[in-house]
Structure 1
Amino acid sequence: MKVALTVWENRISPVFDTAKMLLLAEIKDKKVISKRHEPFDPELFSRLVNRLTELDITVLICGAISKVPANIIEASRIKLIPFISGKADDVLECYAQGIQIIPAFLMPGCDRKHRRHSIKK
C-alpha cells in the first residue's frame, strides 16, 4: 500500500491548502519499506490528484482541508483521512501497523462527531 501525508518539517501540515510537501511512503507487512518527500502546489489540487494516482497512492493523510479539494480527492477514490496532527513519522508508523490514528492524532478541537463522513472505515 502507498500512502501520502502532507508535511511541514517533521509534522503533519496543519492545513492542506497551504502545505507544500508530501511524505510518500510504501507499506508492506505492516512496515514502512520506503519513504521520500515530494513538493506540490496545493492550489493545483487536480494536478496533485493526478500525481497521486500515477504513484498508486491509495490514502492521503492531512490536517484541515477545504471542501473543494477534499471532494476532488475523494472523487478520485483516494481515501482521505483529514484533521490529523502530530509528528509525521509517528502517524505513519501507527497507520502502517494498523493502529487507529483517530482519536490519538486527531487535531485539537475536532471530535468524532465533526469528522467528515469520508474518514469512516
Structure 2
Amino acid sequence: MKIAIPMFHTKISPRFDQTQGFVLLETQNAGVVARDNLTTKGWSVIAKMKQLVDLEVDVLICGGIDRASLQYLSFNGVKIYSWVTGEVDDAVTCFLDNRMKPGIILGDKGKMKGRWQFCKGRNHLCNMFQTGFYKGEKRMIHILVVSENYLSTSAFKTALDESDVKTTCLESGRKALSAVSEKVFDLLVTDENVGDMTGLELIGSVIAKQPMLNCAAVSSLSPGDFHEASEGLGILMQLPVEAGKKEADQLLEHLKKIQALG
C-alpha cells in the first residue's frame, strides 16, 4: 500500500494545496518497507494531485483539503483521511496501528487526543469546544487584528469597522494563539512583527490550530521575497506597511469571494 502525507516541517501540512512536499510511504504487513520525500515547492495544486495519481497512491493523510482536490483524488481511487492534525511520524504510527480516522488530533505515538468537528451549515472547521456554534443563522464576519500599534489604530482598521464587520484587536502573538483556540474567526490580519514573534511565525502557528482560517500579513518584503518567505502558509493577501482603506476594501472583497465558494 502506498501512502502520501503532505508536510509542513515535521507536521502534517494544515493545507493540502499549500504543501511544499510529501512523505511517501510503502507499507506491507503493518510495517513501512520504503520511505521517500517528494518536493513540490512551486507546484500547482493540479500538478500535486496528478503526481499522486501517477504514483498510484492508495491513501492520503492530510489536514485541510479543498473540495475539488478531494473529489479528484477520490474519483481516482485515493482513500482520504482529511483534517488530521499532528506530527507526520505520529500519523504513520496511528495508521499502522489501524486507528486512523478523519478529523483526529494526534498526540504522542499516534494516540488520539481530540477530534475536529464541523459547524452546522458552514464550510468551516471549529475545534472540539465549539461544536454547534452555528445554527444556520447569518453571521457577521469576525476579523482578528494582531498589532502592537499601527493596524489597530489606522485607516485600515477604521475601514474595516465601517464595513459592517466585527474586529477584535490583540497586541501579541501569544494572545492571538489563545484567542483562535477559543473563538471562531473568519480572517486573521497580522502586522509584520507582533512583539513576541513575527507575523509569519504567528500565521504558521495559527494554521496548525485552524487550518482553513484565512490570513493576511503586513510585510515590507518585495512580492517575490514575500512569496518565498510565506510559501506553504496559504496567505490570502500581502499588505503594505502603511495599509489603508484601499487595502481593507480589497481584502474584504477577496474574503467574501472565498466564502461564497464555500
Q: TM-score, normalised by structure 1?
A: 0.78
C-alpha separation in 1, matches of 2:65 and 2:35: 23
How many corresponding residue pairs?
114
Compute the displacement of 1:112 (Å): 7.4
Contact 2:14 2:85 in 1 (8 A): yes
| 1: CA distance, partners of 2:90 / 2:50 | 27
Taking every aligned residue pair, what percent have the same amino acid on both sides? 21
Q: RMSD between aligned alpha carbons?
A: 2.7
Residue 85 of structure 1 pairs with residue 91 of structure 2 = no
Residue 101 of structure 1: CA displacement? 4.2
Instruction: Tell me, in whole angstroms, the C-alpha distance in 1 between the residues paired with 2:119 and 2:100.
Output: 16
- SS of residue in 2 equivalent to 1:77: coil
Please give the alpha-carbon distance, in whole angstroms, between the structure 1 residues aligned to 2:2 and 2:43: 23
CA contact (8 A) 1:17 1:43 kept: no
Query: Residues 1-121 of structure 1 correspond to what in structure 2 (within 5 A)?
Result: 1-40=1-40, 44-102=44-102, 103-105=104-106, 110-111=116-117
Ranges in structure 2 where 5+ consecutive residues have no aligned partner? 107-111, 121-262
Matching residue's letter, 1:110:
W
Alignment check: 8 A CA contact 2:105 2:116 kept: no
Partner of 2:150: none
SS at match of 1:6: strand
Shift of 1:32: 1.2
CA pair 68-93 structure 1, distance change in 2 beyond 3 A: same
CA distance in 1, matches of 2:42, 2:91: 21
Which protein is bigger by CA-based radius of gyration?
A: 2
Q: Residue 3 of structure 2: SS of its match in structure 1?
A: strand
Displacement, 1:45? 3.1
Once the 2 structures are TM-superposed, how far is the Cα of residue 50 of structure 1 from its aligned partner? 2.6
**Structure 1 unaligned blocks of 5 or more:** 115-121
**3-state SS of the aligned residue for 2:44?**
helix
TM-aligned CA deviation for residue 23 of structure 1: 0.4
How far apart, CA to CA, are the structure 1 residues paired with 2:42 and 2:72?
Answer: 12
Whose RCO is larger (CA < 8 A, sep 6+)?
Answer: 1
Question: In the TM superposition, what is the alpha-carbon distance from 1:10 to its structure 2 partner?
Answer: 0.7
Q: Deviations over 1:78-121 (max 9, x none)?
A: 11111011010110122023123453538x7722787xxxxxxx
How far is 1:73 from its partner?
1.4
Asked whether the 8 Å contact 2:64–2:83 carries over to 1, the reply is yes
Distance 1:65 1:49 in 2: 11
Give, as a single letter, the amino acid of the residue that structure 1 aligns with 2:82: P
TM-aligned CA distance change 1:30 to 1:112, over 3 Å = farther
